[in-house]
């Protein structure tokens, strides 16, 4: 926290670059998981088509935009919020707070309870997005890190832990 | 108490509490240069003679422009818009909200519209959508429960879309809360019990949930102590003014606590039982509170153990081995519910199955539990609960609460 406040352009840029990369890969992983994992699939199924949500930091990003297109397919829509209708915003009040979460110093629920982010949009949909983020974090992270990111590390069946996880990784890298 | 790395706490409401608190309202309003208030209330309050008591206390020292007593049991958008029209028509410049949670939330909604000169309440829904201070609002609670007289929250239903709109903003905290025991002296025993248990659940959840902080916990502990000491004596002697004032103070303290720390699964499930079955909020809270405590036991053991002191007093706390205190706090809430059940001749329900409407019909049919569990997954308070809950977890807790069976702790998943 304190070192982020220092005026140190090099460090600032490195952190921003780190966040941009994390959000980019995370967005691709959400898209991948929506294709191959039943849990993530069913959360998205309950959302309307053309629904778009954004996770990011005030005042100028970085952002991650994910949405369902008119055919109901889930897509990572990149890192720009310009010229888009966004139905659900989950915005950390500044990039340092987003960094705390993406460097696993603070879990999303704790950050939320500490009033560190604004949620604008439909509350049930925000709840669903948080559950999706939890599942994708469990796919992507080693157990010791995921345990810091989610409230409860889930006891998933073997197939989901191995085969589905591998598919999420491959598809996230390949952008499928 | 572990001090969090970061926390926020705000409470701007001026509390005026005592046996002649109502008499202080004219002076308060003139200090805010707001001598033309509108009174918002409901018919139950009006029939109970509380409007007359208020008017007598005001003693024509201020000009009440209009008294509107048509607020329904569930505050809704239409009522808010109608009342905003009346406010403007009569040239009011302040609101006195006289009633329970629904009346106070309606008044907050009206105040948003008239202060912002708007006709569209939807534009202000959600978190922190307000950017300007509102007109003077004085809350006079007629139950000791919701705490809305001091909170930053208003819930107003949108009947067209069958949903409840949540408004949160520091500007929604009323300018003053007037706690006068004359307003609750005639409250029937089952309502006194249910609303007090709602306040107790605010205080307990404020201590356990993720937004807890030293300031909210301090308010919550004192709230628990006041409610614990005074609830049963007040039920047995309803016109006991000091006891009524203590409960009103406890409910306001609990309101300040949860307005800052938010609430967890007791409210997640309770809101859902309420919206699916139209069951009264306080009774849902009373039934679900011990289950929420038990479900979170493995994550909040030391916090729960601390609650035994304000609940049961120093003797019991000191006599109980530290390792048993958390469980004993849960047992204490269960016993309180059973005692309330006895002294209200069964009117205070101790399980969901027992909850009855006024004409004796069962309010929560068992076949709706899956629907309630599903609704719960979309309630924002689920974020703040210490332990995670999925659909199966919600259903498991609801089934136990339906039958009044103890929660099987071996079925609570631990990560
Ligand atoms: Fe409540």
Q: What average pLDDT does the segment A32-36 reach?
A: 96
B388 contacts in A (CB within 8 Å)?
Answer: 134, 150-152
Q: Is the pLDDT of residue A5 over 60?
A: no
Q: Is residue A7 included in any domain, yes or no?
A: no
Q: Using 50, 70 and 90 to split pLDDT, how confident is the model at B90?
A: very high
Q: Is residue A8 included in any domain, yes or no?
A: no
Q: How far is the CA of B192 from the centre of ligand 1 (A)?
A: 14
Q: What average pLDDT does the segment A142-168 reach?
A: 94
Confidence at residue A8, expressed as pLDDT on a 0 to 100 scale: 57
Cα dihedral value B108, B109, B111, B116, nearest 10? 140
- Mutate one of A127, A129, A147 to test the B interface: name it (highest B CB count within 10 A): A127
Reduce the DSSP state of residue B38 to 3 states and report it. Answer: strand
Q: How far is the CA of B148 from the centre of ligand 1 (A)?
A: 9
Q: Using 50, 70 and 90 to split pLDDT, how confident is the model at B358?
A: confident
Q: Widest CA span of chain B, in angstroms?
A: 64
Would you call B391 an interface residue with chain A, using a CB distance cutoff of 8 Å? no
What percentage of residues in chain B have a pLDDT greater than 90? 89
Confidence (pTM): 0.94
Yes or no, beta carbons of A127 and B383 under 8 Å apart: yes
pLDDT tens readout for residues B129-159 = 899 999 999 999 999 999 999 999 998 988 7
pLDDT tens readout for residues B272-319 = 999 899 899 999 999 999 999 999 999 999 999 999 999 999 999 999
Mean pLDDT of all residues belonging to chain B: 95
Q: Is the pLDDT of residue B13 over 60?
A: yes
Between residues B193 and B158, which one has the greater pLDDT? B193
Q: What average pLDDT does the segment B354-367 reach?
A: 91
Would you call A128 an interface residue with chain B, using a CB distance cutoff of 8 Å? yes
Q: Is residue A5 included in any domain, yes or no?
A: no
Instruction: Indicate the length of chain B as a whole number.
Output: 415
Q: How close is the nearest chain B Cα to the Cα of A118, in Å?
A: 7
The total number of structural domains that make up chain A: 1
Domain positions in chain B are 14-183, 189-411
Confidence at residue A1, expressed as pLDDT on a 0 to 100 scale: 46
Q: Is residue A4 included in any domain, yes or no?
A: no
Q: Is residue A176 included in any domain, yes or no?
A: no
Confidence at residue B223, expressed as pLDDT on a 0 to 100 scale: 98
Residues 6+ apart with CB under 8 A from A15: A4, A95, A96, A99
Confidence at residue A50, expressed as pLDDT on a 0 to 100 scale: 93
Residue B245 CA to residue B222 CA, distance in Å, equals 14
ipTM score of complex: 0.90
What CATH number corresponds to the domain at position A141? 3.30.1050
Q: Is the pLDDT of residue A79 over 50?
A: yes
Instruction: Return the residue of A nearest to B126 by Cα.
Output: A120
Q: Is residue A2 included in any domain, yes or no?
A: no
> Exposure of B161 by Cβ count < 10 A (0-12 exposed, 13-18 middle, 19+ buried)?
exposed
Yes or no, beta carbons of B414 and A152 under 8 Å apart: yes
Q: What average pLDDT does the segment B111-131 reach?
A: 92
> Exposure of A31 by Cβ count < 10 A (0-12 exposed, 13-18 middle, 19+ buried)?
buried
Would you call A114 an interface residue with chain B, using a CB distance cutoff of 8 Å? yes
* Structure-token pair, residue B85: 């029209």
Q: What average pLDDT does the segment A138-159 reach?
A: 94
A116 contacts in B (CB within 8 Å)?
Answer: 6
Confidence at residue A85, expressed as pLDDT on a 0 to 100 scale: 92
Q: Which CATH number fits domain B189-411: 3.30.540.10, 1.20.1090.10, 3.90.870.10, 2.40.30.10?
A: 1.20.1090.10
Q: Which CATH number fits domain B14-183: 3.40.50.2000, 3.40.50.1970, 1.10.10.60, 3.20.20.70?
A: 3.40.50.1970
Q: Using 50, 70 and 90 to split pLDDT, how confident is the model at A7?
A: low
Q: Is the pLDDT of residue A143 over 60?
A: yes
Q: Are strands A88-92 and A117-120 parallel, antiparallel or unpaired?
A: antiparallel
Element (H, E) at B126: strand B126-127
pLDDT tens readout for residues B227-237 = 999 999 999 99
Which residue range forms the structural domain that includes residue A77? Answer: 14-171
């Amino acid at each position: 926290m304190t070192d982020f406040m220092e005026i140190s352009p090099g460090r600032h840029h490195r952190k921003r670059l780190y966040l941009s990369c994390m959000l980019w890969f995370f967005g691709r992983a959400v898209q991948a998981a929506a294709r191959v994992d039943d849990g993530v699939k069913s959360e998205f199924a309950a959302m309307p088509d053309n629904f778009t949500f954004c996770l990011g930091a005030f005042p100028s990003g970085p952002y991650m935009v994910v949405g369902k297109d008119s055919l109901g397919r889930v897509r990572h829509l990149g890192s720009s919020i310009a010229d888009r209708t966004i139905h659900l915003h989950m915005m950390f009040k500044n990039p340092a707070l987003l960094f705390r979460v993406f460097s696993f110093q603070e879990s999303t629920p704790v950050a939320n309870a500490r009033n560190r982010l604004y949620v604008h949009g439909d509350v049930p949909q925000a709840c669903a997005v948080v559950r999706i983020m939890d599942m994708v974090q469990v796919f992507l992270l080693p157990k010791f890190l995921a345990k810091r990111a989610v409230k409860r590390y889930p006891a998933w069946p073997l197939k989901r832990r191995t085969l589905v996880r591998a598919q999420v990784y491959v598809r996230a890298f390949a952008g499928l | 108490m572990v001090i969090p790395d970061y926390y926020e706490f705000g409470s701007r409401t001026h509390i005026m509490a005592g046996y002649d608190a109502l008499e202080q309202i004219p002076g308060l309003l003139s200090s805010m240069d707001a001598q033309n208030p509108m009174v918002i209330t409901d018919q139950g309050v009006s029939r109970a003679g509380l409007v007359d008591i208020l008017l007598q206390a005001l003693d024509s020292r201020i000009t009440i422009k209009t008294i509107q007593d048509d607020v329904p049991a569930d505050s809704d958008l239409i009522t808010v818009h109608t009342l905003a029209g009346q406010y403007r028509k009569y040239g009011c410049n302040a609101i006195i909200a006289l009633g329970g949670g629904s009346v106070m939330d309606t008044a907050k909604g009206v105040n948003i519209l008239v202060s912002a000169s708007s006709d569209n309440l939807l534009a202000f829904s959600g978190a922190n959508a307000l950017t300007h201070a509102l007109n003077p609002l004085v809350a006079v609670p007629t139950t000791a429960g919701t705490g809305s007289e001091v909170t930053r929250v208003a819930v107003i239903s949108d009947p067209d879309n069958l949903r409840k709109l949540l408004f949160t903003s520091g500007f929604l905290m009323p300018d003053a809360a007037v706690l006068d025991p004359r307003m609750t002296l005639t409250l029937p025993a089952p309502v006194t019990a249910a609303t007090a248990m709602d306040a107790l659940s605010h205080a307990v959840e404020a201590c356990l949930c993720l937004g807890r902080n030293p300031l909210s916990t301090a308010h919550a502990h004192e709230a628990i102590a006041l409610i614990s000491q005074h609830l049963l004596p007040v039920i047995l002697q309803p016109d006991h003014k000091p006891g009524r004032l203590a409960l009103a103070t406890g409910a306001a303290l609990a309101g300040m606590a949860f307005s800052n720390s938010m609430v967890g699964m007791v409210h997640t499930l309770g809101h859902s039982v309420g919206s699916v079955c139209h069951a009264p909020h306080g009774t849902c809270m009373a039934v679900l509170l011990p289950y929420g405590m038990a479900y979170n036991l493995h994550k909040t053991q030391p916090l729960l153990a601390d609650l035994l002191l304000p609940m049961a007093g120093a003797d019991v706390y000191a006599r109980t081995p530290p390792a048993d205190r958390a469980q004993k706090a849960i047992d204490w809430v269960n016993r309180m519910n059973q005692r309330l059940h006895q002294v209200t001749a069964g009117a205070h329900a101790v399980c969901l199955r027992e909850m009855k409407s006024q004409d004796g019909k069962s309010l929560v049919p068992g076949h709706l539990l899956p629907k309630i569990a599903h609704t719960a997954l979309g309630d924002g308070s689920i974020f703040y609960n210490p332990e995670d809950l999925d659909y199966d977890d919600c259903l498991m807790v609801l089934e136990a609460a339906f039958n009044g069976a103890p929660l099987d702790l071996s079925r609570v998943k631990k990560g």
